[in-house]
A and B are shown apart, each in its own frame.
Chain A
Amino acid sequence: MPKVTINGQVYEAAKGKTIIQVADDIGVQIPRYCYHPDIGIEGSCRMCLVEVKSAPKLLPACATPVTENMDVRTDTQRVHEAVRYAMEFLLLHHPIDCPVCDQSGECWLQDYYMAHAGHDSRYPLGQKTRRRKAFNLGPLVKLDQERCILCTRCVRFTRHVTKTNEIQVFNRAHNSEIGIFEDRPLNNPYSGNVVDVCPVGALTSADFRFKARVWFLKGTDSVCAGCSTGCNLRIDHTARAAGGGIPGYTATDGKIYRTVGRRNVEVNKSWLCDEGRLSFHTLERWPRLRQASVRGKQQPVSALLPVIHANFESVRSDHGDDAVAALASATNTNEGLFLMKKYFKGRLDFRLGREVEQYQQQQDELLRRYDKHPNTHGALDLGLAGGLGGLRRLRDLAEKKEVRGMWISFHPQLVGEDAPEIIEDLKRLIEALEWSVVCTTHDFGWAHEADFLLPMAAWAEEKGTYTNYAGRVQIANRAVMPAGDAEPLHVLMAELLNLSGVEVPTDPAAIFEWIASEVPGYGGLDYDAIGPSGAAVAPVPEEVLR
């Protein structure tokens, strides 16, 4: 462990780390454009120059490994001058179109200009080099070459991460430009990440462009629910209550505007797949189910739950405990699923199709997995793949009248489409049952065939944990309020349990403590231990998988 002095303070640094990595670890700010921890070192923007004792020249912090007794200064006049001039050079041809630039408010040129430059331009405005503006690189990405500072983060993303190499630097010298060959679209499944890594307004999201000013948005750390990988992301949404919000938009419920990758080296580095990135749009794909109803007649949720409880009790007493069952969704949180298991006394399953076979299978070499549910591992950990045999088997049981009353939770896949045969099976299941409750997020036509219809909070509308394909438990936070009267599943289940005489908390963190005390592998964990980047639980035992 080399001892390194940075600005007079001595630190122990891991061998092989670069100056910028050590500075990042200890919170010393070093400006940078080309350096990004997940896409390889380029060392070309020359913004991270620092003074190292006994080195005649300033050294790039991103490309200089620390050595024993290295004495680094990031705060000298020489360093400030170098950064200030780098900024002047970078801004020479900048179009200064901040008022109409989507990056405004999260632009590193703006930030570093304020922090390190603050100069008046010495370049005549009318003589700036004009380049191609706002054209499509692909379905998700727009390029404005005038704003590009040639940090080549996007180039290196396609070189080192996707290994597809679509984005390149063309020409050389002052004529250097980022682009694609013959305008062949950038349409790899991870294209949206180049927008995340672009520190300036050169690459913007075709999906998010001009929808909202970023300073009106609030960011909530969460986890993608698009597949079993569980990539970490940040949900950017309106939230008037928290001090943000778009003027004129009555956003008491909040609205999601975009999601961006959140770094977690254990899971997704800094990346999201495009499907996952856009999966929040699935929430707007059908009308939301806003109110509870009984055979088409609207009722308050609070009035309905006692009736539902009474019905389950009467089926149980008339036909035995086995006549009641439940179908859970692997898009629900561990907390919701755990309480559901408690209420249904273990008579529940979650398998709609081949989740269990697929949840660890990779769809490509990066992030995507075939199972489009975020919590299959969690459902398995909670023992939800018991003897009921999944949707198809439950349908058989209902048709044989062995199961008569059922609770069916349904959360649509956020990525891709639920297979038509699943919907078909659900319809037949409802038809075969004597009575049924469908608890779902959207106003699906088929769900109206159920006797009771309950609106359920969707992803991003509830707080809870998912356990990803690798057995990493991660917290998904609530960014926006549920639609209408919808409630998170764990709240509905807590109330049903309360009606049956079991006192249950509705706070997800408290429910998780209960999980930790009962579920193998979750022992010792709590929300603090899980934190923003998750914690590993023991893997699913073999027998559960079978």
Chain B
Amino acid sequence: MFSKETEDKFKHLVSLYPRKRSALIPMLLLAQKEDGYIKPAAIDYVARYLDLNPSEVDSIMSFYTLLRRRPVGKYHIMICTNLSCLLRGSDEIEACVKRELGVNLGEVTADGLFSAIEFECLASCTTAPVIQINGEFYENLDVRKTEEILDELRKRR
């Protein structure tokens, strides 16, 4: 189901905790890293691994916003729109990303390269406005900087 590397990591994770169920969320994050999102088959797999009903795994998964049941773009953009970012112009950043991508928040661009969602406070308030792309911070943004970042990613493909 998963690569040797991921399987090894699963085994390691389960060994870290006094109760193996604690490995559930880190395991799902790893599964997502490999597949891009969490497939029903992965839920079944992890459930069997930890002696859980897949329903429990799905329920727990659906509680956490970083875990997703749908594929996202190669570059997944999380735009913080909470208070500090709002005060520093996240509206413009959000508008810029939507304009640049040509899709609504929550959608994936036709080439599969980008997707963007609105996100809650990313703990980067003093460097607002901020976005995260695939887990990395882009801070102190303005519209021009945002455009440059997206251009750069487009070139990198």
Contacts and interface: CB of A to CB of B under 8 A. Distances in A.
- In-complex A–B contact (CB below 8 Å): yes
Interface of A: 164-172, 180-182, 184
B142 interface: no
B34 to A, nearest CB: 21
B58 A181 contact: yes
A184 to B, nearest CB: 7
A182 B62 CA distance: 13
Interface stretch (B10-18, B48-56, B90-98): B48-56
B53 A165 contact: yes
Nearest to B61: A170
Interface in B24-71: 40, 43, 52-59, 62-63
For this complex, into which size category does the number of interface residues on chain B fall? 10 to 19
Interface in B63-109: 63
A180 B59 CA distance: 9
B63 A182 contact: no
B55 A172 contact: no
Nearest to A167: B55
B62 A172 contact: yes
Given A165-B55, A168-B58, A181 B63 contact: no
Contacts of A180: 55
A171 B52 CA distance: 18
A309 B5 CA distance: 84
Contacts of B59: 168-170, 181
Nearest to A175: B62
Residue among B56, B57, B59, B63 facing the most chain A CB atoms (10 A cut-off): B59
Contacts of A169: 59
A230 to B, nearest CB: 30
Contacts of B43: 181
Contacts of B53: 164-166, 168, 181
A170 B52 contact: no
Interface of B: 40, 43, 52-59, 62-63
B132 to A, nearest CB: 21
Given A165-B56, A170-B62, A172-B62, 14 more contacts: A164-B53, A165-B53, A165-B55, A166-B53, A167-B55, A168-B55, A168-B59, A169-B59, A181-B55, A181-B58, A182-B40, A182-B54, A182-B58, A184-B54
Determine the main DSSP class of B at the interface with A: helix
Nearest to B59: A168
Contacts of B55: 165-168, 180-181, 184
A219 B40 CA distance: 44
Contacts of A170: 58-59, 62
A349 B53 CA distance: 47
Nearest to A181: B55
Nearest to B55: A181
| Closest 10 pairs (CB-CB, A-B) | A168-B59, A181-B55, A165-B53, A181-B54, A170-B62, A181-B58, A168-B55, A171-B62, A165-B56, A172-B63
B47 to A, nearest CB: 9
A154 B10 CA distance: 32
A135 B58 CA distance: 19
A169 B58 CA distance: 9
Nearest to B43: A181
B58 A171 contact: no
A184 B57 CA distance: 14
A171 B40 CA distance: 16
Contacts of B63: 171-172
Contacts of B40: 182
A282 to B, nearest CB: 31
Contacts of B56: 165, 168
Residue among B43, B53, B56, B63 facing the most chain A CB atoms (10 A cut-off): B53
A170 B67 CA distance: 13
A352 to B, nearest CB: 39
20 contacts: A165-B52, A165-B55, A165-B56, A166-B55, A167-B55, A168-B53, A168-B56, A168-B58, A168-B59, A169-B59, A170-B58, A170-B59, A171-B62, A172-B62, A180-B55, A181-B58, A181-B59, A182-B40, A182-B54, A182-B58
A170 B55 CA distance: 9
A184 B55 CA distance: 9
A164 B54 CA distance: 10
A170 to B, nearest CB: 5
A218 B43 CA distance: 46
